[in-house]
Structure 1
């Protein structure tokens, strides 16, 4: 059988193939099962990497926080806290800002859950990202050696995607959020609210050492500390 092109001068039309994606590896997950004789038996289940990290309470944020990422983080933390209130969270973030309301929502939930919340800042964490970074459990707030942070005057753009007329209540709410963030910073960084407002009148860029010095974080991350973070699974009894 002979195949030929009836239009030899016309280039062959091809459908572009989709961009290939790397397969997500599966990893072992160990569980303890109790049989009818009340004997414990170890069971190994192979699950996807993302599910394994989720069950290990590793949370990742690698973009400016928005409504979608806020909802995902808040739901995950509340669900996992209900499953086992004594397990700790590890929150790795590279958040260049985003929604202040979203950042405050995540910060508040971090204070509500029972387990400790270790925050690890990698890359740049600015504005709402810096606020969440410093909201971890005291003593467990880390920043990478080459990480950066930026804090500034709290700014709220509630209706940035809608053209509406702001009411007095809206203005009061925005002012309340600004004061809330400034007061939290002032308390945790051991400054008066007036001094805090003066300090963040402009953007304040911090290296990892400077973030440690002002009290935004507690430690600068290294290889040994990362191993400790990963192994820190359960809340120490007080």
Structure 2
């Protein structure tokens, strides 16, 4: 039954790719998604590149994190858990951040599923992107040498009645407290240190992110 479900999934990857292209990968919306062809025991099979990566247990978080992106990433994480509860999932992140609640949905799913999630920063992992990067399994959080990582406190605009503005302000403070606890959990730093670092945009190089505790290792390019 699982094999049938997997076959059904890959038969619909072209339609999924259209969704990915329009929602998840906003920054590359106008680009053509490559199709790869491989030989199988039943002949040739073609995949869009992201579905082929998913087959290798690779999940991409690219561009702004919003509700659509979160839905797709969560669905992929759950699918990979049902496929194999022991094999590591690799999450590649290149994101400026986005919605805190959408990002927390991805974070909670990473904490919920049984497979370990290895995180990789390629390009940037800012704001909620840095939360997801830090949430990878201990010892399996990576960044490439020229990656940029940034943490800061959540922000939001508001207007209307004073009572409504207070409700929104209180919610932002609650989200800030939640993010502080997450960073404390995954970096080992004190809440005071995290809060001080989040007061304004705090950019880090990959090496600085190791020192801060957001990642475990900077991956150096191999020399042929």
TM class, shorter-length: 0.7 to 0.9
Checking the alignment, whether the CA contact within 8 Å between 2:147 and 2:206 is kept in structure 1 is yes
In 2: Cα distance, 1:28 partner to 1:131 partner: 36
Aligned to 2:216: 218
Give the one of 17, 27, 30 matched to 2:37.
27
For residue 114 of structure 1, give the secondary structure of its aligned residue in structure 2: coil
In 1: Cα distance, 2:197 partner to 2:209 partner: 14
Aligned to 1:46: 45
Q: Which has the higher helix share?
A: 2
What are the Cα deviations for residues 48-70 of structure 1, in whole angstroms up to 9, with x where unaligned? 13322122221112211111111
Unmatched runs of 5 consecutive residues or more in structure 2:
1-29
For residue 46 of structure 2, give the secondary structure of its aligned residue in structure 1: strand
For residue 122 of structure 1, give the secondary structure of its aligned residue in structure 2: strand
In 1: Cα distance, 2:84 partner to 2:39 partner: 17
Give the one of 188, 192, 201 matched to 2:190.
192
> Deviation of residue 209 (structure 1)?
0.8
In 2: Cα distance, 1:145 partner to 1:102 partner: 28
Q: Which stretch shifts more, 97-106 or 80-89?
A: 80-89
Aligned to 1:227: none
> Deviation of residue 187 (structure 1)?
2.8
For residue 94 of structure 1, give the secondary structure of its aligned residue in structure 2: strand
Judged with a 3 Å threshold, the aligned counterparts in structure 2 of structure 1 residues 23 and 139 are, in CA distance, closer, same or farther, namely closer
Checking the alignment, whether the CA contact within 8 Å between 1:96 and 1:125 is kept in structure 2 is yes
Checking the alignment, whether the CA contact within 8 Å between 2:131 and 2:182 is kept in structure 1 is no
Checking the alignment, whether the CA contact within 8 Å between 1:29 and 1:52 is kept in structure 2 is no
Aligned to 2:177: 179
> Deviation of residue 114 (structure 1)?
1.0
Q: Which stretch shifts more, 128-137 or 48-57?
A: 48-57
> Deviation of residue 106 (structure 1)?
0.9
Aligned to 1:166: 164
> Deviation of residue 118 (structure 1)?
1.0
> Deviation of residue 202 (structure 1)?
1.6
Checking the alignment, whether the CA contact within 8 Å between 1:61 and 1:92 is kept in structure 2 is yes
What aligned pairs does 1:95-174 form with structure 2 within 5 A after superposition? 95-155=95-155, 157=156, 166=164, 171-174=169-172
> Deviation of residue 46 (structure 1)?
1.6
For residue 86 of structure 2, give the secondary structure of its aligned residue in structure 1: coil
Judged with a 3 Å threshold, the aligned counterparts in structure 2 of structure 1 residues 90 and 23 are, in CA distance, closer, same or farther, namely closer
In 2: Cα distance, 1:101 partner to 1:138 partner: 24
In 1: Cα distance, 2:37 partner to 2:114 partner: 28
How many equivalent residue pairs? 191
